[in-house]
Chain A
Amino acid sequence: MENFRPEELIVEHGSESSRIYANLRRTLPQVPVKFVDDIGSDANTHFAHRDPFGAAKKKLYLTRYKGDFFKKCPGSDGQVCCNYFVINFASNCPMDCSYCYLQEYLLDNASLKVFSNVDDLIDEADRTLQKHRGVFFRIGTGEITDSLALEPYTGMVRELIPYFAEQLNVLLELKTKSDCVDSILDLDPKGRVVVAWSMNPQPVIDLDERGTASFDDRLVAARRCQDAGYRLGFHFDPMIEYRGWEADYQTMLEQIFATIDWHRLSWLSLGVLRETPRLKRMMRERFPHSRLLTGEQVLCPDGKMRYFQPLRVEMYRKMVAWIRRAAPTVKIYLCMESRDVWQQVFGFAPACEKELGNQMAPVD
């Protein structure tokens, strides 16, 4: 995976006393630093660029987050939800996948930001978790950033794991396309942390997942995390349909199950390529030759385009069959799919999001 070297580190006053700032200065000593009172206007300079979203990834901002860190995952209208919560400790990502929904979601606020007030994040999480001891929380950190891509520089996750490892009603999920796990291997996750990889075959990575770790490097990192006591997850999402996809995905699964002890997998998820028509227009502008643009996608009731239903159900059923051959009882769920699709793939659909969320709880 390529090293991240921002052109500039822009620090909002008030963040220079944080541990994250100290880590950034130590790990990126050659990067020029600028201090500002308010990142507001500075954070919009990428708009002048021909490719604003791409340009926004080249500077790194360090600021305090002023809103609520802890949120319910919004899911997608009318789709079966997995009762997921999210904590955002950064915004945007140094990688640049063709299909990334952040291109649309962060259009007006695309600057790459890391939030320095980790203690506030932990305080807020603690208040919620203490107040609702009877509720099981599956919490993700990879909604609007990659959970680990910046870890070698910020040390953010290393700050979070010791707290979440002590919470009995939590699974913290770190979702990544990186191989940046060195700094967390000596910590004891106590069964409360899942490191999850978004996986695609190498031909998909080569074409549409710029700046990410290779498939082999992701798999090696996953094995190292499993050996270090972490739970693992894999998200086959977005699955891409192309001539020869079956052979590539089948080989990918065989390699994963030859490397990982599937009995210690927390979950696998499946989801096909999906985007709003607006995101598709943005993809066409930024990556006009991507084959992702020419799949047989139709507009679904939730406003997202997906491969037409018989095609994607066939893809899911094949993936489930290949997974089940190697890992008969591993938990598999569909991401952002309707009850109809669940029914066609598995022969059942969860009665409610609570049911699906509870199925993901650890069995200790």
Chain B
Amino acid sequence: MSESEIRAYAQGRGFHDQTLTRWLGWERTDRDALGELASGLKIGENHLRDMMDWLEDTASRDHAKISQILATKAISDLSTDPRLGRADKVKRIKEHLRRLRFPRLAQTEDEIRTRIQSLKLHPEIRVSVPPGLEGGRLHVEFTATSATELLTIAGKLRAAAETSLAPEIFELLAGTHREKERE
């Protein structure tokens, strides 16, 4: 993708000048690799900026080129997967890049998610953690249409809280799980 094509793409999607300047400031192979991906998936500015942040940091940390990261099989598979729509492709590629950029955060999120799933909660109970795990709190949300249903949900929630999984989730949120592992 040439510089003029990148300019046209950015202009067509109303990108801010600083985003375009930053993109054009990359080495040509890196710039073009992102250009191919962006134009193929019609990626908007906000998504592209996140991806640029993560790509720059990952490349710097791993002493790799951005074009090498974008040429990996994982990215190629996602961007060409016929089962995925355009928005899903962008979403999955972003998540892949985020996981590359934040491997330990992603691992901690996975460990928490696995434990939440293992709690096998009532479908009316939704458990989530804050973005980036900031705040250290577990969000629990449920709805009920009757007192009986409320009692049932509360009972299942209590049962879940009494398993060994619940403290493990909070230890993961508090960064103390490795202390336990060492003990």
Measured CB to CB, the closest approach of chain A to B53, in angstroms, equals: 9
In the bound complex, do residue A313 and residue B135 qualify as a contact, i.e. CB atoms below 8 Å apart? no
Measured CB to CB, the closest approach of chain A to B76, in angstroms, equals: 24
Interface band, chain A: 20 to 34
Measured CB to CB, the closest approach of chain A to B77, in angstroms, equals: 25
Candidate in B60, B135, B173, B174 with the most chain A CB atoms within 10 angstroms: B174
Measured CB to CB, the closest approach of chain B to A225, in angstroms, equals: 35
If the complex has contacts A314-B176, A317-B175, are A309 and B133 also in contact, measured as CB distance less than 8 A?
A: yes
Question: Which residues of the partner chain A approach B58 to less than 8 Å between Cβ atoms?
Answer: 294
Instruction: Tell me if B137 is interfacial: C-beta within 8 Å of chain A.
Output: yes
In the bound complex, do residue B174 and residue A294 qualify as a contact, i.e. CB atoms below 8 Å apart? no
Instruction: Tell me if A301 is interfacial: C-beta within 8 Å of chain B.
Output: yes
Instruction: Tell me if B131 is interfacial: C-beta within 8 Å of chain A.
Output: yes
Measured CB to CB, the closest approach of chain B to A89, in angstroms, equals: 36
In the bound complex, do residue B174 and residue A313 qualify as a contact, i.e. CB atoms below 8 Å apart? yes
Tell me the nearest residue of chain B to A298, going by C-beta: B132
Specify which of A299, A308, A313 is in contact with B102 (CB 8 Å cutoff): A308
Q: Contact flags (1/0) for A309-340 with B, using CB distance below 8 Å?
A: 11111100100000000000000000000101
If the complex has contacts A294-B61, A296-B104, are A311 and B175 also in contact, measured as CB distance less than 8 A?
A: yes
Question: Which residues of the partner chain B approach A294 to less than 8 Å between Cβ atoms?
Answer: 57-58, 60-61
Instruction: Tell me if B172 is interfacial: C-beta within 8 Å of chain A.
Output: yes
Candidate in A298, A308, A317 with the most chain B CB atoms within 10 angstroms: A308
A25 CA to B61 CA, complexed, in Å: 46
Instruction: Tell me if B85 is interfacial: C-beta within 8 Å of chain A.
Output: no
Specify which of A289, A296, A299, A309 is in contact with B135 (CB 8 Å cutoff): A309
In the bound complex, do residue B174 and residue A308 qualify as a contact, i.e. CB atoms below 8 Å apart? no
A344 CA to B135 CA, complexed, in Å: 10
In the bound complex, do residue A310 and residue B57 qualify as a contact, i.e. CB atoms below 8 Å apart? no
Q: Contact flags (1/0) for A95-120 with B, using CB distance below 8 Å?
A: 00000000000000000000000000
Measured CB to CB, the closest approach of chain B to A187, in angstroms, equals: 44
Question: Which residues of the partner chain B approach A300 to less than 8 Å between Cβ atoms?
Answer: 134
A312 CA to B133 CA, complexed, in Å: 11
In the bound complex, do residue A344 and residue B56 qualify as a contact, i.e. CB atoms below 8 Å apart? no
Question: Which residues of the partner chain B approach A308 to less than 8 Å between Cβ atoms?
Answer: 102, 104-105, 108, 132-134
In the bound complex, do residue B60 and residue A340 qualify as a contact, i.e. CB atoms below 8 Å apart? no
Instruction: Tell me if A32 is interfacial: C-beta within 8 Å of chain B.
Output: no
Which secondary structure dominates chain B's binding surface? helix
In the bound complex, do residue B136 and residue A313 qualify as a contact, i.e. CB atoms below 8 Å apart? yes
Measured CB to CB, the closest approach of chain A to B24, in angstroms, equals: 16
B residues 100-114 near A (Cβ < 8 Å) are 101-105, 108
Question: Which residues of the partner chain B approach A340 to less than 8 Å between Cβ atoms?
Answer: 135-137
In the bound complex, do residue B135 and residue A310 qualify as a contact, i.e. CB atoms below 8 Å apart? no
Specify which of B175, B178, B179 is in contact with A309 (CB 8 Å cutoff): B175
A residues 267-290 near B (Cβ < 8 Å) are 284, 288-289
Instruction: Tell me if A293 is interfacial: C-beta within 8 Å of chain B.
Output: yes
Question: Which residues of the partner chain A approach B108 to less than 8 Å between Cβ atoms?
Answer: 308, 310
Question: Which residues of the partner chain A approach B137 to less than 8 Å between Cβ atoms?
Answer: 340
Measured CB to CB, the closest approach of chain B to A346, in angstroms, equals: 12
If the complex has contacts A288-B60, A293-B57, A309-B136, are A314 and B175 also in contact, measured as CB distance less than 8 A?
A: yes
In the bound complex, do residue A344 and residue B105 qualify as a contact, i.e. CB atoms below 8 Å apart? no
Instruction: Tell me if A194 is interfacial: C-beta within 8 Å of chain B.
Output: no
In the bound complex, do residue A344 and residue B131 qualify as a contact, i.e. CB atoms below 8 Å apart? no
Measured CB to CB, the closest approach of chain A to B120, in angstroms, equals: 24
Question: Which residues of the partner chain B approach A93 to less than 8 Å between Cβ atoms?
Answer: none
Question: Which residues of the partner chain A approach B102 to less than 8 Å between Cβ atoms?
Answer: 296, 298, 308
Instruction: Tell me if A184 is interfacial: C-beta within 8 Å of chain B.
Output: no
Tell me the nearest residue of chain B to A299, going by C-beta: B132
Specify which of A289, A313, A314 is in contact with B60 (CB 8 Å cutoff): A289
Tell me the nearest residue of chain A to B131, going by C-beta: A298
Instruction: Tell me if A195 is interfacial: C-beta within 8 Å of chain B.
Output: no
Question: Which residues of the partner chain A approach B61 to less than 8 Å between Cβ atoms?
Answer: 291, 294
Question: Which residues of the partner chain B approach A344 to less than 8 Å between Cβ atoms?
Answer: 136, 174-176
B residues 106-140 near A (Cβ < 8 Å) are 108, 131-137
Tell me the nearest residue of chain B to A314, going by C-beta: B175
Measured CB to CB, the closest approach of chain B to A335, in angstroms, equals: 17
A317 CA to B108 CA, complexed, in Å: 18
If the complex has contacts A310-B108, A313-B174, are A284 and B135 also in contact, measured as CB distance less than 8 A?
A: no
In the bound complex, do residue A310 and residue B56 qualify as a contact, i.e. CB atoms below 8 Å apart? no
Apart from A296-B101, A314-B176, what are 14 other A-B pairs with CB-CB below 8 Å?
A289-B60, A296-B104, A298-B131, A308-B102, A309-B173, A310-B133, A310-B175, A311-B105, A313-B174, A314-B178, A317-B175, A340-B137, A341-B136, A344-B136
Q: List 16 A-B contacts (CB under 8 A).
A: A289-B60, A296-B104, A298-B102, A308-B108, A308-B134, A310-B108, A310-B173, A310-B174, A310-B177, A311-B105, A313-B174, A313-B176, A314-B178, A317-B179, A341-B136, A344-B176
Report, nearest first, the 8 A-B pairs whose CB atoms are least far apart.
A298-B132, A310-B175, A314-B175, A294-B61, A313-B175, A344-B174, A308-B105, A340-B136
